[in-house]
Amino acid sequence: MKKILSVIFSIVIALELICSLCLVSSAAVQTEDIKKTRLGNTDTYYSFNAAEKTLTISGKGATPDFVNSNNSQPWYLWRSNGSIQHVVVEEGITSLGNYFFYYVSAEDFKLPSTLNLLGRYSMSGVNSLKTFSFPDNLSVIGDYALYYSVNLESAVIPSSVTKIGISAFENCISLNSVSFEDMYSNLAIGRRAFFACANLKSITIPKRASLSSYSLGFYSESRGSVYKDFVMNVYRDSPAYAYAVKNIVNYNIISEMEIKEGQSIECEYYGDSVGMDMVFDFTPVENGNYIFYSSGKVDVDCSLTDGNENELAFHADNSLDDLNFTVECYLKAGETYYYTVKSIMSTGGFTVSLYPLDIESIDFNIDIELSCNDNTDGVFDILPLIEGSEIKILYKTGFSEIIRFTNNMKYFDKTVSYTDNQNNGKWLCGSHTGTISVGEYSKSFSITIIHSYTSVVIPPSLQNEGYTEYTCSHCNDSYKTDFVNRTGVLVSGRVVLMESPDGSHPHNFPIVNAVVSVDGVDMDETDINGKFEFYALSDSSRICISSEFAVDRTFEFAYDENLENRLGDISFFHYDYNADGYVNAKDFALVRSVYGKYPKEEYNRYIKIDYNQDGVIDYSDFKYARNFFAYGKIAESIYD
């Protein structure tokens, strides 16, 4: 029943194609330009140049899916009447949706390198082309993608293609040549992919390609009929061989395969192929040293020859102790070399790999950031963070390969490893360097250790700002922020000798060791220059200046807003040396008792009355005392 339904379905599709051709062939030729127009809700667009008969697809990403209808495909009415001779799909387009170019008859199609998918029926019925160039990065040729493209004669499948969908080339009746760029590609060929291709007489199938029912060689599914003159070229240890045997399709066993730089090919000897040579041919693009390397479960002899059959290297590997083998040689660009493996009466599998030997450099993109708390006993464990990172190996031949990092792994004869300088001392916060090496080739990368701060709030005091201080628990780095104004206001001034009861002080003789207090609390003493400075609460208002030789001077004070209160020079009565309340001969006698230059050890005692700071306590220091004699006992009122 399934076979009957399948036949009916094929007939319906064929009738649909014929009807579509009849409907559009009589449509009017498109003679007007079409400006850039958006396709559905996508970021893709189409435009048409009538003079050049060119349909252009532009934008980014996937185009929308269509159906075979004038209400869906924008160029439906003029797709096959000669209006379109050229199709250009610009870079940035990643896939062509279903029915996108269905039955578009153009002389050529230019597809972008960004294209990775041909959708269902996307190029079906394109009967104007004999050859078709698939872009190198194409991954999927979708179901019915080129179905019924009856004039297509040849197709080259890029190595990037991993899937050829159901009926992708079915009924391409002129197709006579299909080749694959990579004979070791991991490719899935769908059901009826090359079904009913009458002129396809021979095809060589990649070694790892899988095939589905009626993938190729059949012209009748209902009867299981195979083209009698059709031949498959297959490898003995391949799924294609099993397909040919199962479906009774003519086949030839092949034993030669192209191998490419960086490629590893798995092979196996069976009982009926033990005596068969397996040949791997290679044509280098650049001069250089190369190595053929393999391991496995079969004993072999292997040799390398040039195009003139001159043997360049030989390795007899028939030891049960070591089944690996290597052949190294300098090869010239453009010449083809043949690497031949022969089983020594042994069955089993082995893998052949081909690599250049001379590394140019290594490269990777690793960026490590760690909290300083991530250390264990002061050591930061970097290896788990870079495990599995991509390391690009660039060879002098231009070939490159990406490997996944594992410390101390073997990459052929080279060790892949990580090092840093933590053994030389504790890593503090900041930038450090790690190094990855592949053999003697290395590259460094940056490792950043980020501070981990704890905070302490310092409250404001009378004279100091408050703030929050952050300190790193690992390296003690610190900084301050969130500053708060101090609670006190700055008060400063200078106390000088009052030379007359009116408070004048023209000579500004400093008063030393006078005590300055605020609201009864001593805040500072004047220094040798008579100066004082202190912080007080902003609501303080009463300042008192006192000394053992004078009447206290007290006054109210209003603070300004800028918190800096410079009182300037404050005159202070300072002649009552015996502190009896009078300025008289007793005070004069006290001055005489210390007449002359005072010794150094007496400085702190007598400096108090050396007003003119000449180093001598004498009558000159008592000079202005007479200005106060007539006043009798000194009262605070004289300050007013």
Q: What pLDDT shows up at residue 69? A: 95
pLDDT at 536: 84
Strands 564-572 and 488-497: parallel
Q: Which residue has the higher pLDDT, 556 or 81?
A: 81
Model pLDDT, residue 3:
46
pLDDT band at 424 (very low <50, low <70, confident <90, very high): confident
Q: Which two tokens stand for residue 36?
A: 């850039």
- Is residue 573 within 8 A of residue 639, CB to CB? The reply is yes
Amino acid identity, residue 638?
I
Q: Residue 622 — very low, low, confident or very high, per pLDDT cuts 50/70/90?
A: confident
- The tokens describing 50, both together, are 């009538």
Over the stretch 587-607, which tens digit does the pLDDT of each residue have? 777 776 666 666 655 555 555
561 has a pLDDT exceeding 60? no
Cα(459)–Cα(74) distance, integer angstroms: 75
Within 50-129, strands assigned E span 54-59, 61-62, 86-89, 93-96, 108-110, 117-118
Q: What is the pLDDT of residue 378?
A: 86
Asked if pLDDT for residue 246 goes beyond 90, the answer is yes
What's the pLDDT score for residue 440? 93
pLDDT value at 626 more than 90: no
Q: Which of 23-27, 98-102, 313-317, 598-602 has the highest mean pLDDT?
A: 98-102
Rounded to the nearest integer, the mean pLDDT of the chain is 88
- pLDDT tens digits for 38-94? 999 999 999 999 999 999 999 999 999 999 999 999 999 999 999 999 999 999 999
| Least confident piece of the model among 8-17, 129-138, 241-250, 281-290 | 8-17
Q: Cα separations (Å) of 102 from 16, 21, 66, 422?
A: 12, 11, 9, 64
pLDDT surpasses 70 at 219: yes
pLDDT at 350: 87
Buried b / exposed e over 402-430, threshold 16 CB at 10 Å, is ebebbeeeebeeeebbbebebeeeebebe
Please, which pLDDT band fits residue 8 given cuts at 50, 70 and 90? Answer: very low
Q: What pLDDT is recorded for position 322?
A: 52
Structure tokens at 379: 């050591």
Residue 419 has pLDDT above 90, yes or no: yes
Q: Which stretches does DSSP call E strand in 32-125?
A: 34-38, 44-49, 54-59, 61-62, 86-89, 93-96, 108-110, 117-118
Residue 287 structure tokens: 């001069």
For residue 613, the tally of other CB atoms under 10 A from its CB is 13
Residue with token string 């002061």: 378
In the numeric block, the tokens 């922020």 are attached to: 481
**pLDDT at residue 412 in the model:** 81
Token pair of 83 as six digits: 């209006």
Is the per-residue pLDDT at 583 higher than 90? no
Confidence of residue 321 (pLDDT cuts 50, 70, 90): low
pLDDT for residue 221 is more than 70: yes
Write b or e for each residue in 361-399: b if 16 or more Cβ atoms lie within 10 A of its Cβ, otherwise e: ebebebeeebebeebeeeebebeebbeebebebebebeb
pTM above 0.75, yes or no: no
pLDDT digits (tens, 9 = 90+) for 427-444: 999 999 999 999 999 999
Q: Is the pLDDT of residue 170 over 70?
A: yes
Give the residue with greater pLDDT, 589 vs 22.
Answer: 589
Kindly give, in sequence order, each residue whose CB lies less than 8 Å from that of residue 432, ignoring residues fewer than 6 positions away: 420, 421, 446, 447, 448, 449
